[in-house]
A and B are shown apart, each in its own frame.
Chain A
Amino acid sequence: MTRQTVDLRPSTEPPLPRPRPLASLVTRPQVIALAAVLFVNWLLFPGFFTVTWQDGRLFGSLIDVLNRGAPVAILAIGMTMVIATKGVDLSVGAVMAISGAVAAVMVTSGYPAWLAVLAALGAGLVCGLWNGILVTLLEIQPIIATLVLMVAGRGLAQLITEGYIVTFSDPVLIFIGTGSFLGFPMPVVIAFTLMLLATLIVRRTALGLLIEAVGINRSAARFAGLSSGALLLIVYTFAGFCAAVSGLIVAGDIRGADANNAGLWLELDAILAVVIGGTSLMGGRFSIPMAVLGAMIIQAMNTGILISGFSPEFNLVVKSAVIIVILVLQSPLSARLFRRLPGKSQ
Chain B
Amino acid sequence: MTRSLRPLLATTLIFLFAYLLAVTQHPAMFSTRVLGNFLTDNAFLGIAAVGMTFVILSGGIDLSVGAVIGFTTVLIAVLIMWLSLHPLVAFAIALTVAACFGAVMGAAIHYLKVPSFIVTLAGMFLARGGASVLSPDSIGIQHAFYSGVSKSYILMPGGGRLTVVGIIMLAVFAVAILLAHRTRFGSNVYALGGSETSAALMGVPVARTTIAIYALSSFLAGLAGVVFSLYTSAGYSLNALGVELDAIAAVVIGGTLLTGGYGFVAGTFIGVMLQGLVQTYIVFDGTLSSWWTKIVVGVLLFMFIVLQRLVFRAGPRRT
Residues of A within 8 A of B (CB): 88, 138-141, 143-145, 147-159, 162-163, 259, 268, 271-272, 275, 281, 311, 313-321, 323-324, 327-328, 330-333
Q: Which residue of A lies closest to B299 (CB)?
A: A152
Add 12 more A-B contacts to A155-B291, A313-B132, A316-B129 (CB < 8 A): A148-B302, A148-B305, A149-B298, A159-B291, A163-B289, A163-B290, A315-B129, A317-B129, A319-B125, A320-B123, A321-B126, A331-B113
CA separation between A275 and B122, bound complex, in Å?
Answer: 13
CB <8 Å contact, A313 and B129:
yes
Q: Which residue of B lies closest to A159 (CB)?
A: B291
Q: For residue A259, which residues in chain B have a CB less than 8 angstroms away from its CB? A: 291
CB <8 Å contact, A144 and B112:
no
CB <8 Å contact, B294 and A152:
yes
Q: Summarize B's interface: helix, strand, loop or mixed.
A: helix
CB <8 Å contact, B136 and A313:
yes
CB <8 Å contact, A271 and B121:
yes
Q: Which residue of B lies closest to A267 (CB)?
A: B121
Q: For residue A157, which residues in chain B have a CB less than 8 angstroms away from its CB? A: 291
CB <8 Å contact, A151 and B133:
no
Query: Does B270 reach chain A (CB closer than 8 Å)?
Result: no
- Known contacts A155-B294, A313-B128; decide if A143 and B61 are in contact (CB<8 Å): yes
CB <8 Å contact, B121 and A323:
yes
Residues of B within 8 A of A (CB): 61, 108, 111-115, 117-119, 121-126, 128-133, 136, 237, 245, 248-249, 258-259, 289-299, 301-302, 305-306, 309
- Known contacts A139-B309, A144-B258, A313-B129; decide if A327 and B292 are in contact (CB<8 Å): no
- Known contacts A316-B125, A331-B112; decide if A138 and B306 are in contact (CB<8 Å): yes
From A141, A324, A333, B122 is in contact (CB under 8 Å) with A324
CB <8 Å contact, B291 and A148:
no
Q: For residue A321, which residues in chain B have a CB less than 8 angstroms away from its CB? A: 126
Q: Which residue of A lies closest to B310 (CB)?
A: A138
Give the shortest distance, in Å, between B97 (CB) and chain A (any CB): 15
Q: For residue A272, which residues in chain B have a CB less than 8 angstroms away from its CB? A: 121
Q: For residue B117, which residues in chain A have a CB less than 8 angstroms away from its CB? A: 88, 143
Q: For residue A268, which residues in chain B have a CB less than 8 angstroms away from its CB? A: 121, 124-125
Give the shortest distance, in Å, between A64 (CB) and chain B (any CB): 22
Give the shortest distance, in Å, between B286 (CB) and chain A (any CB): 14
Q: For residue A140, which residues in chain B have a CB less than 8 angstroms away from its CB? A: 305-306, 309
CB <8 Å contact, B111 and A311:
no
Q: For residue A315, which residues in chain B have a CB less than 8 angstroms away from its CB? A: 129
CB <8 Å contact, A155 and B132:
no
CA separation between A156 and B237, bound complex, in Å?
Answer: 27
From B126, B245, B290, B306, A316 is in contact (CB under 8 Å) with B126
- Known contacts A138-B309, A148-B302, A331-B112; decide if A154 and B294 are in contact (CB<8 Å): yes
From B108, B136, B259, A311 is in contact (CB under 8 Å) with B136
Q: For residue B258, which residues in chain A have a CB less than 8 angstroms away from its CB? A: 141, 144
Q: Which residue of B lies closest to A153 (CB)?
A: B298
Closest 4 CB pairs of A and B: A152-B298, A155-B294, A316-B129, A313-B132
CB <8 Å contact, B129 and A159:
no
Q: For residue B112, which residues in chain A have a CB less than 8 angstroms away from its CB? A: 327-328, 331-333
Q: For residue A151, which residues in chain B have a CB less than 8 angstroms away from its CB? A: 245, 249, 294, 297-298, 301
- Known contacts A268-B121, A327-B108; decide if A316 and B301 are in contact (CB<8 Å): no
CB <8 Å contact, B123 and A144:
no
Give the shortest distance, in Å, between A279 (CB) and chain B (any CB): 13
CB <8 Å contact, A281 and B115:
yes
CB <8 Å contact, A150 and B129:
no
CB <8 Å contact, B297 and A152:
yes
From A271, A316, A323, A332, B132 is in contact (CB under 8 Å) with A316
Q: For residue B291, which residues in chain A have a CB less than 8 angstroms away from its CB? A: 154-155, 157-159, 163, 259
Give the shortest distance, in Å, between A157 (CB) and chain B (any CB): 8
CB <8 Å contact, A162 and B132:
no
CA separation between A315 and B119, bound complex, in Å?
Answer: 17
CA separation between A85 and B249, bound complex, in Å?
Answer: 26
CA separation between A327 and B289, bound complex, in Å?
Answer: 42
User: Which of B122, B136, B289, B297 has the most chain A CB atoms inside 10 A of its CB?
Assistant: B122
CA separation between A279 and B125, bound complex, in Å?
Answer: 21
CA separation between A272 and B301, bound complex, in Å?
Answer: 26
Q: Which residue of B lies closest to A275 (CB)?
A: B118
CA separation between A311 and B132, bound complex, in Å?
Answer: 8
CA separation between A156 and B293, bound complex, in Å?
Answer: 10
CA separation between A261 and B125, bound complex, in Å?
Answer: 17
